[in-house]
């Protein structure tokens, strides 16, 4: 172990497995065994992880979760300043990414103390890789807002966002969030719902927001990560009448009307429903 005779210790942020203990890195195993302090979001889960890895936690273990983060960050920073190796782990994935960790990182950075990271699992990049969405540029938005008004405002801000967007959502709010997203962003906007990543019942559903909202309405369980495709560049010169004309031509050639409407809206500001209803109105006249 590191002794207090050393000038400074180090804060170690470590990614932990999301479901499979075999995803733990050798460096995480070593850190659990050798750190002077292990700050854990849930001490019971961290002890269980160590046991499953055949590792005995060598230092003292302290809890470090949302409700105590502000109070305990200064103490962890002081431990680093006193020369101790402080290992910070959360229940799953990378600390500070919608999990406890940010405050102690800031405290150590402001004090000029060493900070390092043991790379590991992340639901954000795992979901992005599985989503079949463009990943060259993406935005991570944490958890979707809980309150309806704030959620609608947030989704409205994504209308013209051309980067792929990744966010977390609770299973009991997923259906409503997807329904709201379909209303604001369009039913055909591509998305993926990633559930229980790396676990036994891992599931990835891909489709339009409207389709996914209908699926989620039956109830979904587990840890959820959602990926939404970025907005296409909009051609503002195309009119609804032009799209109606194109859709009718495709329908007259044998294509199902809904499919025809979906085919003509790409790169425009209109939704499939806009075109479909306009075609029906035109037929009535």
Write down the pLDDT at residue 235: 76
Tell me the per-residue pLDDT of 107-130, one tens digit each, with 9 for 90 and over.
999 999 999 999 999 999 999 999
State the pLDDT at residue 160.
85
Q: What's the pLDDT at 7?
A: 53
Pick the CATH number of 10-121 from 3.40.50.720, 3.90.1150.10, 3.40.1010.10, 3.30.530.20: 3.40.1010.10
Q: How buried is 44 (Cβ within 10 angstroms: 0-12 exposed, 13-18 middle, 19+ buried)?
A: exposed
Instruction: Give the mean pLDDT of 95-118.
Output: 94
Q: Indicate whether 176 pLDDT > 80.
A: yes
Distance of CA 72 to the CA centre of its chain: 26
Per-residue pLDDT reduced to its tens digit, 186-203: 998 999 999 999 999 999
Q: Could you report how far apart the first and last alpha carbons of the chain are, in Å?
A: 83
Task: Say what the pLDDT of residue 4 is.
Answer: 39
Where does the pLDDT of residue 97 fall: very low under 50, low under 70, confident under 90, or very high at 90 and above? confident
Confidence of residue 1 (pLDDT cuts 50, 70, 90): very low
- What's the pLDDT score for residue 2? 40
Interval 207-222 mean pLDDT:
96
pLDDT interval class at 269 (50, 70, 90): confident
Half-sphere exposure (CA, 13 Å, Cβ side) for 17?
Answer: 20
Burial (Cβ within 10 Å: 0-12, 13-18, ≥19) of residue 73: buried
Q: Residue 86's closest CA among 16, 13, 4?
A: 13
Nearest Cα neighbor of 94 from 73, 117, 77, 76 is: 117
Banded model confidence at residue 139, pLDDT cuts 50, 70, 90: very high
Contacts 24+ apart (CB under 8 A), 275-280: 275/240, 275/243, 275/244, 275/247, 276/247, 278/240, 278/241, 278/243, 278/244, 279/244, 279/247, 279/248, 279/251
124-228: CATH superfamily = Tetrapyrrole methylase, C-terminal domain (3.30.950.10)
In the numeric block, the tokens 């977390």 are attached to 168
Query: What pLDDT sits at residue 44?
Result: 97
Share of the chain above pLDDT 70, in %: 97
* Mean pLDDT of all residues belonging to the chain: 93
Q: What is the dihedral of CA 87, 91, 94, 97, to 10 degrees?
A: -120
Does residue 6 surpass a pLDDT of 70?
no
Question: Contact, 168 vs 224, CB < 8 A?
Answer: yes
Alpha carbon distance 176, 181 (integer Å): 8
Tokens read off for 241: 């009448």
Residue with the bigger pLDDT between 158 and 233: it is 158
pLDDT for position 5: 39
C-alpha closest to that of 117 among 27, 222, 241, 205: 27
Work out the pLDDT band at 159, boundaries 50, 70, 90.
confident
């Amino acid at each position: 172990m590191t002794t207090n005779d050393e000038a400074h210790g180090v804060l170690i942020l470590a990614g932990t497995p999301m479901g499979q203990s075999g995803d733990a890195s050798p460096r995480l195993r070593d850190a659990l065994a050798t750190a002077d302090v292990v700050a854990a979001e849930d001490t019971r889960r961290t002890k269980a992880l160590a046991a499953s890895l055949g590792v005995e936690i060598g230092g003292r273990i302290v809890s470090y979760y949302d409700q105590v983060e502000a109070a305990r960050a200064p103490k962890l920073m002081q431990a680093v300043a006193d020369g101790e190796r402080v290992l910070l782990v959360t229940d799953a994935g990378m600390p500070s990414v919608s999990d406890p960790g940010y405050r102690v990182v800031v405290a150590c950075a402001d004090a000029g103390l060493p900070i390092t990271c043991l790379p590991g699992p992340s639901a954000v990049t795992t979901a992005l890789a599985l989503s079949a969405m463009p990943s060259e540029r993406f935005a991570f938005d944490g958890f979707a807002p809980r309150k309806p008004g704030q959620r609608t405002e947030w989704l409205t801000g994504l209308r013209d966002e051309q980067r792929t967007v990744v966010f977390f959502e609770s299973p009991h709010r997923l259906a409503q969030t997807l329904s709201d997203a379909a209303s604001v962003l369009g039913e055909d906007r591509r998305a993926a719902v990633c559930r229980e990543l790396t676990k036994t019942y891992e599931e990835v559903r891909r489709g339009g927001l409207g389709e996914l909202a209908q699926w989620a309405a039956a109830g979904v369980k587990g840890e959820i990560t959602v990926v939404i495709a970025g907005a296409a560049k909009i051609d503002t010169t195309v009119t609804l009448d032009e799209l109606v004309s194109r859709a009718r031509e495709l329908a007259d050639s044998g294509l199902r009307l809904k499919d025809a409407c979906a085919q003509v809206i790409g790169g425009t500001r209109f939704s499939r429903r806009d075109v479909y209803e306009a075609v029906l109105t035109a037929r009535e006249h």
